[in-house]
Structure 1
C-alpha cells in the first residue's frame, strides 16, 4: 500500500535575520515517492529551509503548502499526521527507553493523555524492526551512542505514520554499515510512496539513492534536477570550494574524490 499524501511545496520563500537574507526566493517541492537530497555548505540555510517547510518558522515572504493547502491553516496535530521530522541532534530530558521514545511518534494519533492502543503498539514495534534496533528497545535513550539515538529518532518518525519524512542529515553519527542500510531503507520507503527530503553533506549518498538533488547556496536554490544532471565536479567545486573529480565503477556507480 502506498503512503503518498500530496505535494509539499515552498514557493518564493524569503527569511531574514538582521540584515542578512537566510533564504532568498526559494522554490522547492517534494512529491510522493521522491527522495530529494538537499546539499549546501555550512550556513547555506538548509536547516532553516527545513524548519519553514515544517511550519516551525514563518517566512517573511513566500508560502508553504501541503497538497495545495497553506500550512498556516493546518493544526499542529494535523501536520504531524502528515509530516514527520528527524532532527540532526536530540537530547531527551529523561531516561525514556528506546521503545518509549519511538512511541512518542504516535502522539498525533491518540493524544498526550490517552493510553496507546493495539495499533499504536504495532506501529512502534514495526518501526523498531524496520530500523533493526530491537536489541536497543529496552535500553535508556540517554545511554545510547549518537548513531543509536539517530536510528531511534528515525524509527520514531516511521511510527508516526506520516507520508512525508523530512530528515536533517539522517546519517549523522552512523557508522558505514548503518549508513548503507539506512540508504536502502529510504529507497524502500520511497518505493512505498513516502516523500523524503533529506539534507546531506555526502554527494555520494545523493548519487546512490536520491531521485532528485537540489543545491542551496547563499539562500538560493542554484540547481534542482536528477543526481547525474546536478552533481557534477564543477557544481561540487562551486558549492564547497574544493576541487574534485568523479570516478565511475564498472557497475556504473559514481563517487567523488579529491582532484589529483
Structure 2
C-alpha cells in the first residue's frame, strides 16, 4: 500500500538549531498515528514541516507518493487537510460558513458553494454531534466549539490524509472521545491520519500506531499495542508511571504519585 506520508531523516526547526533531529515516519491508509512527547520536543514542528509551513534543513518529505516541493498548494489542499492548534478569526461568520471554508480547494473560479457542499458540511456537523453550531455566530463560539468546527472543516475537505495538531484541546471528555471516535471511524474506512496528542490514554484507545518524540528524536514508533508500555512512557516523560488493565482489557496509564 502506497504511503500517504513518508519522511526520511527530517531535520526542521525555527532557527539555526533544528527542533527535529532526523525523524522517519511512514503513514498509510487505515492508520491513525498519535504523536506523543513532552512540550517543545517537535510534535507540532513535525506537522508544520510536512506541510511546508516551515523549512526543513535536511531529509525528504513525500505526500501521496510525490515530493512535497512538487505539490501545487491548491492541489495538495484537495488531498491533505490540516487541523491547526491555534484558532483563526471567526467573527462575522456562522458555524456553517466556517466549516464550508474547507470546501475552498474544490470550488470553481468564482468560489461559489453548491448545494452538495452545504449538504456535506451539514452532514459532517451532524456526524460530530454539533449540528446546532451551524447558525451560531462566530463571536459566540467557545474554544471547544471552535475546535469542533476546525475538525469539521478538515473532514469536509474529503482528504486522503488528515493532520491534526492537538485536536482535543479545549474539549470536554465527551467531545474528546467523540471527536477521536469519528476520526478513527474515517480511518477504518480508508483515511490516513496523524494527531498530536497529550493524553496517553486517548492515544491508547483510538490510535493504531504511535510515535514517541523526545528531544526532537523518535524514542520509539510502531503499533500502539507494542509501543505504549510503562517503561517507554517513563523514559518519554521522565517521571514514574503506573499501568493498569481495565475490565475491558484496555490499558490505562497514569503518573505515579510521589
Which of 64, 68, 72 is the equivalent residue of 2:65?
68
Equivalence for 1:178: 175
Contact 1:16 1:23 in 2 (8 A): yes
How far 1:18 sits from its partner (Å)? 4.0
Equivalence for 2:113: 116
1-structure distance, mates of 2:14, 2:193? 28
Alignment of 1:201-240 (within 5 A): 201-240=198-237
Q: Is 1:10 paired with 2:14?
A: no
2-structure distance, mates of 1:17, 1:179? 30
How far 1:68 sits from its partner (Å)? 2.1
2-structure distance, mates of 1:20, 1:212? 29
Local SS of the residue matching 1:60: strand
Contact 2:43 2:213 in 1 (8 A): yes
Contact 2:13 2:55 in 1 (8 A): no
Contact 2:8 2:61 in 1 (8 A): yes
Contact 1:33 1:190 in 2 (8 A): yes
Equivalence for 2:25: 28
How far 1:19 sits from its partner (Å)? 4.3
Local SS of the residue matching 1:113: coil
Change (3 A) 1:220 1:256: same
Which of 154, 158, 161 is the equivalent residue of 2:158?
161
Give the structure-2-normalised TM-score. 0.94
Equivalence for 2:195: 198
Local SS of the residue matching 1:250: coil
Change (3 A) 1:257 1:112: farther
Unaligned runs of 5+ in 2: none
Count of residue correspondences: 257
Q: Cα RMSD (Å) of the superposition?
A: 1.7
Divergent runs of 4+, >6 A: none
**Cα deviation 1:13-38 (Å, max 9, x = unaligned):** 11244442211111111111101000
Give the structure-1-normalised TM-score. 0.94
2-structure distance, mates of 1:154, 1:76? 20
1-structure distance, mates of 2:46, 2:183? 21
2-structure distance, mates of 1:100, 1:17? 33
Unaligned runs of 5+ in 1: none
How far 1:39 sits from its partner (Å)? 0.5
